[in-house]
Amino acid sequence: MKDNRLHPAPREKLDQMALESNLRNPDENRLTFSFGADCQPAAHVPILSLPVPRGRAPLRSPPVSASVHPVPDTFIRRHIGPSAPEIAEMLSTIGYPSLDAFIDATVPENIRLRRGLALPGAQSEQDALANFRAEMSANEVRRSFIGMGYYDTHTPAVIQRNILENPGWYTAYTPYQAEIAQGRLEALLNYQTVVSDLTGLPIANASLLDEGTAAAEAVTMIHGLVGKDGRDVFLIAADLLALTLLVPPGEFGADIVVGNSQRFGVPMGFGGPHAAFFACKDEYKRSMPGRPCRPRRSSTPSP
């Protein structure tokens, strides 16, 4: 039977954690414990803060050398770039003894910087993300009254988890099979089906760049259709969420319906662009822009 009880950490680990904690914040008179990756000191990323009784100094311990416990997730270690032998081979091919000699021969002297950059030391991924969040916390989120067709929405958790984040769409059960590609096709087909149902038109594509692009493509498509046989083509720009309550445009004669898919609950994303939807009658499918995702039946019998 599997033992699910919590076991205490080894004494050496606890001693190491104690050495890398006990950093006091004098402004708040609090004792702050901070741990980075692999128990590395990360004083600027506190994860636990306890009050220090007034009049009592916090414990202080000698710092631990970073060379003893190197940070395991620095970017340079994981960077997929040319190795030293590969660099030497490339330099040999182009006829230069070193990268410095190559740069000297190719970069004009008047734009060269002959001193090192004043850059801080490398950070772990966790530290870099924590610093980024600290910088971004200074941003002020203001309400925009301009509009531009973007609306904040609430996506129910059951929809978010079971449809948008359904792991069956992007998790392969074996590493060599393309479930993520199959899942994306299924998601696009579901998207097209919803657009087709709400617009009342039989065919929709798998989205376009944004609403402006969809409108321009629709006008270009209409120009080509009218130029062929002089027919009248009825184009509507619609609010996709409003169509859940309104009469579908296809039911009162619309030939093409376009609009913004952001209304499906896509985050604002600082103004987009957000994918556009495009639906039309079946007779215009050969002129429709973009790419539809459609199921196909094999012409040969299945084995």
Residue 59 burial (CB count, 10 A): 10
- Site of tokens 């359904």: 166
Query: Which pLDDT does position 160 carry in this prediction?
Result: 83
Q: Where are the domains of the chain?
A: 8-79, 81-110, 159-284
Give residue-wise pLDDT tens across range 164-176: 787 777 665 655 5
Query: Which pLDDT does position 298 carry in this prediction?
Result: 72
Rg of the chain in Å (alpha carbons): 30
User: Helices H, strands E: what count in the chain?
Assistant: 8, 7
pTM > 0.85: yes or no: no
**CATH architecture, domain 159-284:** 3-Layer(aba) Sandwich (3.40)
SS (H, E, C) 10-29: CHHHHHHHHHCCCEEECCCC
Query: How many Å apart are CA 205 and CA 192, to the nearest integer?
Result: 6
Specify the DSSP element, H or E, that contains 183.
helix 179-199
pLDDT tens digits for the chain (303 residues)?
A: 444 444 444 444 444 444 444 433 334 444 333 444 444 444 443 333 344 444 444 444 434 444 455 555 666 767 778 888 999 999 999 999 999 999 999 999 999 988 888 888 878 778 888 999 999 999 887 776 665 556 777 888 888 888 778 777 766 565 555 556 777 788 889 899 999 999 999 999 999 998 899 999 999 999 999 877 778 899 999 998 899 999 999 999 999 999 998 888 777 776 677 889 999 999 999 999 998 888 777 777 665
Q: What is the DSSP letter of 157?
A: H
Query: Which pLDDT does position 125 carry in this prediction?
Result: 79
Query: Which pLDDT does position 230 carry in this prediction?
Result: 76
Give residue-wise pLDDT tens across range 68-79: 555 556 667 677
Residue 288 in contact with residue 280, Cβ under 8 Å?
yes
Query: Which pLDDT does position 39 carry in this prediction?
Result: 42
